[in-house]
């Protein structure tokens, strides 16, 4: 998938019903202190669904899947926001989500993923373990990796 104005517009159309339109703020004080001539802009994605910008990418990825592929579900590994975003997008689409989380994930992050009905698989808290456990979940379920 190439990144260009048309693909950005298409992604926006695909996800617009599922995300918040978050504000953009500026700071005259920071603009005065910055060498940037165009000014600084702050996109408040902390007001987004799940509290992070990850909702945009995950929702776009899940809703970009064709129906046959989507029915097999989606999988990812995450210790927090990305997992919650994928779980939420899968719930919205009505498909299974398999989220691999390290065993030391924050309880609030685990609860967020659980609240969207995802199947959570815990693993050792290493990148290697996360990737291997996710690959196994994909092998067992036929789910598509959302990364």
Catalytic site positions: 54, 79
Long-range contact set of residues 10-17: C-beta below 8 Å, sequence gap at least 24? 11/56, 11/60, 14/59, 14/60, 14/63, 14/64, 15/56, 15/59, 15/60, 15/63
Q: Say how far apart CA 125 and CA 106 lie, in whole Å.
A: 12
CA-CA-CA-CA torsion sign (91, 93, 98, 103): negative
Query: What count of residues does the chain have?
Result: 147
């Amino acid at each position: 998938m190439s990144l260009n104005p048309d693909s950005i517009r298409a992604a926006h159309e695909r996800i617009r019903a599922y995300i918040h339109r978050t504000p953009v703020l500026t700071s005259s004080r920071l603009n005065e202190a910055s060498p940037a001539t165009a000014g600084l802009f702050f996109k408040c994605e902390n007001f987004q669904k799940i509290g992070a910008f990850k909702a945009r990418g995950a929702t776009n990825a899940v809703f970009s899947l064709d129906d046959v592929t989507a029915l097999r579900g989606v999988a990812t590994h995450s210790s927090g926001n990305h997992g919650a975003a994928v779980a939420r997008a899968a719930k919205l689409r009505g498909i299974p989500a398999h989220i691999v989380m390290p065993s030391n994930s924050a309880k609030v992050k685990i609860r967020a993923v659980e609240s969207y009905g995802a199947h959570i698989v815990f693993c050792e808290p290493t990148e290697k373990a996360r990737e291997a456990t996710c690959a196994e979940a994909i092998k067992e379920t036929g789910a598509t990796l959302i990364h």
